Chains A and B, each alone.
Chain A
């Protein structure tokens, strides 16, 4: 049981390049989330999904797109990377039931640097 798996773990991009971050969970969770973590700013929600085929914007969605074509996968895309998107990205999933009262399960992050 791997939980939440993020790939890649590290990546360096040049400004203007595109890439996709993959999140996979094997817990049959309905909800999935993408966060970015920056020093002194905590975890900020980028996009989230409440089920297969659905996505919604979070707190800081600009410059990112997401897709949830399969229940177990949640993809985060950067169409034209900018230095301001240098960050550590975390994916999380949560089971259905009692709204926010179930814990979110996090992956170990993707460290992304944009030069």
Chain B
């Protein structure tokens, strides 16, 4: 019940295309869903996050879509650029807890071809 399942494992997109990464969770008590971006040789960094009281959040070319009834959320990268090539992790946590623990998905390696 603590798992977060992420797909696809890898993704190749042409420059200017839309990249879509999907995640599913089981624990309905999760109330905070961040996405992290990781470049080779670096640690993950927060990209964008959403709470379940909204269905969509957009920051620049990055959008999270959230479907509470289906227990799914996804990251959309519009107008994908070669600089977006990285590994992306979805995560979930109990925002109300006093530990701040995150449960991460398995990761998606995105390659944007020029």
Question: Do A and B form a real pair?
Answer: yes
How many contacts A-B (CB < 8 Å)?
Answer: 76
- B interface residue count range (under 10 / 10 to 19 / 20 to 34 / 35 or more): 20 to 34
Q: Once the chains bind, are A48 and B101 in contact (CB under 8 Å)? A: yes
**Stretch with Cβ within 8 A of A (4 or more), from B13-21, B57-65, B69-77, B102-110:** B102-110
Question: A4, A40, A41, A44: which contacts B43 (Cβ < 8 A)?
Answer: A4
- Among candidates A42, A58, A100, A104, residue contacting B106 with C-beta atoms closer than 8 Å: A42
Q: Is A84 an interface position by the 8 A CB rule?
A: no
Interface: A74 (CB within 8 A):
no
Number of A residues near B (Cβ < 8 Å) is 28
CB pair B95–A98 under 8 Å, yes or no, is: yes
Chain B residues positioned under 8 Å from A31 (CB to CB):
99-100
Most chain B beta-carbon neighbours within 10 Å: one of A42, A98, A108: A42
Taking a contact as CB atoms closer than 8 A, the residue among A41, A44, A99, A106 that contacts B100 in the complex is A99
- Among all A-B residue pairs, the 5 with the closest Cβ atoms: A106-B43, A100-B93, A103-B46, A42-B104, A100-B95
